[in-house]
């Protein structure tokens, strides 16, 4: 199934904003690459993209009412919790060009569908997909500008340090991995206008070889907050 123009535009636009120098590292011209971005998206990043099966979970609060929405209009309700399986595959299109394809696995009453694609040279396709999902969820829920949010996430991402590696779960068993915590709005001058998203916490679990194991995004509230997670998952026997 072909991508919808909207999904393709969002995915490729985000990749273009994040990548500089033919995908050599995640940065804008005024921002230098850091340890995490260099490991995941830099020149030495693995070119395999790490195909595999990912569990995607998300809980999103009700979107912020649009400006000018009168009291007679019922406010938007929270979206139902999301729990799905996504598969990243390395494929070749009809013209012989290599690419990565992210698809939603079929579930009861719901067929599988292709939801995003990335050029073969794209490093870290799951990170790009996850970060754009965070941008979209925060913008829709808080009413903030997706361009502003995207830029702040990018800057925080490229500034993130790796820290020491420690034992972490992986589909094949325990491995050594870095647990990187990122608080993109910790010092943002617009924190007072962001509500709970001012304290948004992103966590990347990544091996020293650049293999992602999990990604998460959380606001402080256990209930009624925003929580999203991608976890590399063992294949069903």
123 band by pLDDT with thresholds 50, 70 and 90? low
The Cα–Cα gap between 77 and 81 comes to: 12
Q: Let me know: does 146 contact 136? Beta carbons within 8 Å.
A: yes
The Cα–Cα gap between 141 and 184 comes to: 17
- Name the least confident of 73-87, 154-168, 207-221: 73-87
The Cα–Cα gap between 69 and 225 comes to: 23
The Cα–Cα gap between 169 and 159 comes to: 25
The residue extents of the domains of the chain are 5-64+80-233
Tens of pLDDT along 70-81? 555 565 666 788
Higher pLDDT, 120 or 61: 61
163 band by pLDDT with thresholds 50, 70 and 90? confident
Share of the chain residues as helix, strand and coil, in percent rounded to the nearest 5? 25, 30, 45
Bridge partners of 174, per DSSP, are 169
Tens of pLDDT along 4-63? 444 444 444 444 444 433 332 233 344 447 888 888 877 667 666 678 999 999 998 877
Q: Average per-residue pLDDT in the chain?
A: 80
Neighbours of 205 (CB within 10 A): 21
Beta strands in 25-145 (DSSP E): 25-26, 52-59, 82-92, 98-104, 113-119
């Amino acid at each position: 199934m072909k991508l919808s123009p909207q999904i393709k535009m969002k995915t490729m636009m985000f990749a273009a904003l994040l990548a500089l120098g033919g995908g050599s590292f995640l940065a804008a011209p005024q921002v230098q690459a850091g340890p995490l971005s260099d490991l995941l998206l830099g020149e030495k990043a693995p070119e395999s993209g790490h195909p595999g099966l990912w569990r995607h979970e998300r809980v999103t609060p009700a979107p912020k009412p649009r400006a000018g929405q009168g009291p007679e209009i019922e406010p938007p309700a929270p979206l139902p919790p999301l729990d799905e399986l996504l598969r990243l595959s390395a494929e070749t299109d009809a013209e012989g060009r290599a690419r990565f394809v992210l698809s939603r696995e079929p579930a009861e009453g719901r067929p599988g569908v292709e939801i995003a694609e990335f050029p073969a040279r794209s490093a870290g396709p799951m990170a790009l997909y996850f970060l754009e999902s965070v941008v979209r969820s925060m913008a829709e829920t808080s009413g903030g500008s997706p361009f502003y949010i995207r830029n702040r996430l990018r800057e925080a991402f490229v500034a993130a340090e790796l820290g020491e590696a420690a034992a972490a779960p992986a589909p094949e068993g325990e491995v050594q991995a870095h647990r990187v915590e990122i608080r993109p709005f910790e010092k943002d001058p617009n924190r007072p206008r962001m509500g709970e998203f001012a304290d948004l916490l992103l966590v990347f679990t990544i091996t020293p070889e650049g293999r992602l194991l999990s990604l998460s995004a959380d606001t402080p509230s256990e209930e009624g907050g925003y929580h999203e997670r991608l976890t590399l998952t063992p294949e069903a026997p």
